Amino acid sequence: MTISINNAHLYDISAEITLVFALSTDELLHEGVLNELGFKAEQDETCYLSEFKTLYVGVEANEHDLFRSAAATAIKTLSKYTYSSLKLAQYDINNTNGIFTALVEGFLLGAYTFDLYKSEKKKVTLNTIIFSGKTLEEQGSDISLLEKALVYAHISSEATNFARDLINMTPEEVYPAKLSQIAGDLAKENGMECKILGEDALKEENMNAMLCVGRASRHETQLIHLSYVPKNPLATVSLIGKGLTYDSGGLSLKPASSMVGMKLDKSGACAVLGIMKAVSALKLPVEVHGIIGAVENMIGADAYKPDDVLIAKNGKTIEVRNTDAEGRLVLADCLCYAQEKVKADYIFDYATLTGACVVALGQHTSGIMGHSKELKESLGRSADKTGELIGSLPFNRYLKKQLKSDVADISNISNKPYGGAITAGLFLDNFIEKENKEKWMHFDIAGPAYVESAWGYNPYGASGAGVRLTLDWLSNLK
């Protein structure tokens, strides 16, 4: 899809259909007809006027995320028609409130479809979107500012859709070695370094917790380390992703219905790959390391077992009480590796870690956990700008006691069925060095990473949660 900016007024631009976003029906060109048809300009409400070749889409308030959703609605609606081009005006002079960026993202995210496994592909003719550089009231924007925003929005959306594709692909197609290959190809295309550690190298690194999780799989467990290193970086950031290419639950076998969709358990890893793709494409002045634990958790004669005691990379012993709490074991070793190999100013990990987080915050919100109030606040600002919903879940000393083990340093699950998202975060906290506590943030993206119904500008399946939020945060580092 080609998106461009033309400095002419909307009605002087040639396109097959005009798109108008309406906060109300007052003073619209076709006000009378819209009122006759009962159009109320409610959020994402559409009204297509065939005789005027105009689509109206309602927006409840002058907020960027509402425009982002409305743009996605528009693109989905127009995909049913045979138009190849559309035009629209500006709704935010100089992108001051981020509405232009939101509209571009809404179009590109809303147009996403995953039809890799469909024998018949749906044909969409709409391939050209032209923005006027002026509002309907003929107020003009600085085109250079809009063009800069357009490049950013295009890259952020492409990276999100890239992550969506990887998450949606089947476990038979994307297994640990294949994920490593994808990361290697990405590194070559975008001028990054890529290091892959196989099982022999992981043994040398004493990453026994991660190795045990993948022991029953026919696919080799691998660690992926991508590095983007610009000259004179403003900061160094490590991003760690949970890459369970499939999770059967292991010997603590999931119910059959809960296994469907478990290709989503690599969402954290795919988010990291999407972020790395965007960071390198934008050439941000930040050194970024993407570290992924690529593992498959299966059953078999060699599977790790409840009652096993594992020794993590940092020497801590872990009592296994449930083999379906495997993601935190993988992340524990990867967090230790990241801190040993990279002296980072910030350490973020991303994982579809707990169903408890979905219970606490719902399907559309990621949970964040950590010790730094300032870091949470800065991430909150990026969440507001990108429309990615986050909720902070607080650590406390009482929940920490629920991870106590009588036979090892720590248990891999809580001894009580409460606060499961927080106790999972507290488990990871055991593998963060004291000097790095204020630098670390844990993202439990179990809710929004993969939802089996479309919502807003997100499709059925993978959303790419974490990509745009983190990219905005990295873009604003000083």
**305-319 pLDDT tens trace:** 999 999 999 999 999
Residue-level pLDDT at 62: 95
21-25, 182-186, 193-197, 366-370: range with lowest mean pLDDT: 21-25
Q: How confident is the model at residue 42 (pLDDT cuts 50, 70, 90)?
A: very high
Q: How many CB atoms lie within 10 A of CB 335?
A: 29
Residue-level pLDDT at 158: 98
Q: Tell me how far apart the alpha carbons of residues 238 and 291 are, in angstroms, rounded to a whole number.
A: 7
Q: How many CB atoms lie within 10 A of CB 54?
A: 19
Q: How confident is the model at residue 478 (pLDDT cuts 50, 70, 90)?
A: confident
What mean pLDDT comes out for the span 243-263? Answer: 97
Q: Tell me how far apart the alpha carbons of residues 290 and 226 are, in angstroms, rounded to a whole number.
A: 5
C-alpha torsion sign, points 418, 420, 426, 431: positive
Q: Which two tokens stand for residue 225?
A: 């380390």
Domains in the chain, CATH or no CATH each: 2-141 (3.40.220.10), 157-475 (3.40.630.10)
pLDDT of residue 473 exceeding 90, the answer is yes
Indicate yes or no: pTM above 0.85.
Answer: yes
All residues at 6 or more sequence positions from 290 whose CB lies less than 8 Å from its CB, including other chains:
183, 224, 225, 226, 227, 228, 239, 241, 272, 273, 275, 276
Average pLDDT value for the chain: 97
What mean pLDDT comes out for the span 240-255? Answer: 98
Residue-level pLDDT at 124: 87
Active site residues: 254, 328
Q: From residue 160, how far is each of 165, 352, 377 by CA, in Å? A: 9, 16, 23
pLDDT of residue 60 exceeding 90, the answer is yes
24-33, 425-434, 457-466: range with lowest mean pLDDT: 24-33
Residue-level pLDDT at 41: 95
Residue-level pLDDT at 122: 86
pLDDT of residue 56 exceeding 90, the answer is yes
Burial class (CB in 10 A: 0-12, 13-18, 19+), 260: exposed
